[in-house]
Amino acid sequence: MATMLIKHLTFSLSLLVFVFFAFTVADAMPIKDMYAFCKDTNDVNFCLKYIGTDIRILAARDLHDVLVIAISQCQIQLTNATKQINKVRQKFSGPIGTRRLYFCGKYYNLASALFQKAYEEAQEEGLESIAQFSAVDGSHYMIKCEDEWKNNGPIQKSPLIFYYTNVVKLLSIIHVIIEKMYG
CATH code at position 150: 1.20.140.40
- pLDDT single digits (tens) 107-147: 999 999 999 999 999 999 999 999 999 999 999 999 999 99
Q: What is the tally of structural domains in the chain? A: 1
- pLDDT single digits (tens) 25-82: 445 666 778 889 999 999 999 999 999 999 999 899 899 999 999 999 999 999 999 9
Cα–Cα distance measured from residue 19 to residue 119, given in angstroms and rounded to the nearest whole number: 24
- Predicted model pTM: 0.84
| DSSP strands (E only) in 32-107 | none
**Cα torsion angle, 62, 67, 70, 72, sign:** negative
Whether residue 151 is predicted with pLDDT greater than 60 in this model: the reply is: yes
| Residue-level pLDDT at 20 | 43
| Residue-level pLDDT at 91 | 96
Could you tell me the residue range of the domain that residue 71 belongs to? Answer: 2-182
| Residue-level pLDDT at 11 | 47
